[in-house]
Structure 1
């Protein structure tokens, strides 16, 4: 059960946190919401695991760009697995609490995986920038080995400062309330519950978030402006379409990740968002990209689409002949 401790009462240490979930959902609709979230998770997990397996199975798709896709799919799967099972169990089994340290582990995974995603989108933009703006040097600069190394670096770099943020948050006192007004444990929701001075921890986390968000975004904008300029310099209309179509899936994915996040940060600074509205927006931009990224990979990437159609045709011919 959730604890609400008044300031006039003896302060006690919080040992578990209570997730409120989606605002305004009546208990009678909990099973329906839980089943819907379970379906969303199964689609998310299946789509991203299929992307990884299909690229590794198809030898002709084992190229740097698709290796980056696989890393992004792995992050999307990990993010969904870190966030959704608990909120599904809340609505299906009324399991609404997380232990103190389990909540901070989830918080670490959420912000760590979000940071890795931002870095991988930067790597994706660099890959397209070199491929379109410097195509002659692309095969020597961007190889499977170099792509693998930079992807591994993208996974390793965020660990240090994420650990600093988590340790700062754990060190705070939590004694006033254990009710987290969210569907999962994130930094903003947890630090609001601190009964001590959390200003330093919040400022460090905010600066880190701005660096992670705006740093890669600045280069991504620069790279795609350069790509668009390079595309318009191509005289052949068919060549323009073909060149731009190679980077349109990445551009869609980048927009799905950055636009809503930037909107939330701007609204947080300029106006005081209602908790209900913020939860819905955060859940939307957290789960929608991992859900649709495999669809974008398969239907907007020509080589993957053609390889998938070829496999399906072979399977159909085999079944008919059998």
Structure 2
């Protein structure tokens, strides 16, 4: 009888130990950010310096856009509110991803904890979705301004734009958190090297101990819906805008309408085209990891640095406000 009870106690202890190990897996497991897997270590400082420059330019440029739109009353208009919303999203994305990459290439801190990885993953998908929805709002604003100019203020007001931006944040938060949840509940116990620059669903889910092909396919479909859905609507809206511009008889009005769209076309091109290339390239049976990493780097960081610069240089109101601020600072000194 005593031996039987002793066996039961031993079994219970082993079960408790196994449950403790399983409970601690997520706390002790960590991932390794690989980045460019074929890059020699002697080039790490140079790449870290390049990313440091990218990050500082992005921080400065996006902060300037946000501050100018907030401080200047004449910029409290729908289009500039949307531009500021895009700048906030880009600023957050770079702050969540680039410091970790800089520390990897400068300090060798390439590991990221389980919880930090999935927190980063949630924000990556949230902010990517938010960028796409914000560009859609931008295209809608230009569509109404050019195709229905007399009803513009009745359809789009500053209050309406703020509500639409808040709705975009809510929708993106739901989608991004939902996508992240597909990966967080997978078991991870083996390879831990993430072959990209940050945690996102596909490169993390492939490291699972179980078959994650369904999860990765669902992530691909979610990405296509998040990006190609708004992109299709943007293309349709700008086709209508171009037709309307061509129908404008006065040359001055035609040029003014076209100039307001060119800036947005630049931003949309650098945001969507590399993503389309990435989707097409990754559909191959054996995609090259280095080429995929370059494409991801281009569409992840280049738009966030270049978009505010393009807006400041091409948009007369923002450019004029920036010049006035600089004159006030110089005069104050």
Q: Which residue of 2 aligns with 1:82?
A: 96
1:28 aligns with 2:42: yes
1:145-185 alpha-carbon deviations (Å, 9 max, x no partner): 00000000000012223222222211112122011111211
SS at match of 1:273: coil
1:255-274 alpha-carbon deviations (Å, 9 max, x no partner): 11111101110122246320
Quote the Cα distance in structure 1 between the aligned partners of 2:44 and 2:211.
36
Quote the Cα distance in structure 2 between the aligned partners of 1:161 and 1:308.
36
Cα offset, 1:23, TM superposition: 2.9
**Correspondence 1:82-231 to 2 at 5 A:** 82-231=96-245
Quote the Cα distance in structure 2 between the aligned partners of 1:183 and 1:143.
39
SS at match of 2:112: strand
1:64 aligns with 2:95: no
Cα offset, 1:130, TM superposition: 0.4
Quote the Cα distance in structure 2 between the aligned partners of 1:279 and 1:263.
12
Number of positions where the alignment pairs a residue of Structure 1 with one of Structure 2 = 309
Quote the Cα distance in structure 2 between the aligned partners of 1:206 and 1:33.
29
Q: Which residue of 2 aligns with 1:55?
A: 69
Unaligned runs of 5+ in 1: 1-10
| Structure that is richer in helix per residue | 2
Cα offset, 1:200, TM superposition: 2.6
Quote the Cα distance in structure 1 between the aligned partners of 2:90 and 2:176.
18
1:263 aligns with 2:274: no
Quote the Cα distance in structure 2 between the aligned partners of 1:28 and 1:206.
35
Q: Does 18-27 or 66-75 show the bigger shift? A: 18-27
Cα offset, 1:25, TM superposition: 2.3
Task: Say if 1:270 and 1:35 are closer, same or farther in 2 by CA, change over 3 A.
Answer: closer
Q: TM-score, normalised by structure 1?
A: 0.91
Q: Is the 8 A contact 1:165 1:201 kept in 2?
A: no
Q: Is the 8 A contact 2:103 2:110 kept in 1?
A: yes
Q: Is the 8 A contact 2:125 2:179 kept in 1?
A: no
Q: TM-score, normalised by structure 2?
A: 0.88
Quote the Cα distance in structure 1 between the aligned partners of 2:48 and 2:310.
26
1:7-34 alpha-carbon deviations (Å, 9 max, x no partner): xxxx995700011122332222322222
1:272 pairs, out of 286, 291, 302, with 286
Q: Which residue of 2 aligns with 1:3?
A: none
1:296 aligns with 2:296: no
SS at match of 1:137: helix
1:287 aligns with 2:301: yes
Greater Rg over alpha carbons, structure: 2
Ranked by relative contact order (alpha carbons within 8 Å, sequence separation 6 or more), the top structure is 1
Quote the Cα distance in structure 2 between the aligned partners of 1:82 and 1:233.
45
Cα offset, 1:208, TM superposition: 1.3
Quote the Cα distance in structure 1 between the aligned partners of 2:237 and 2:112.
42
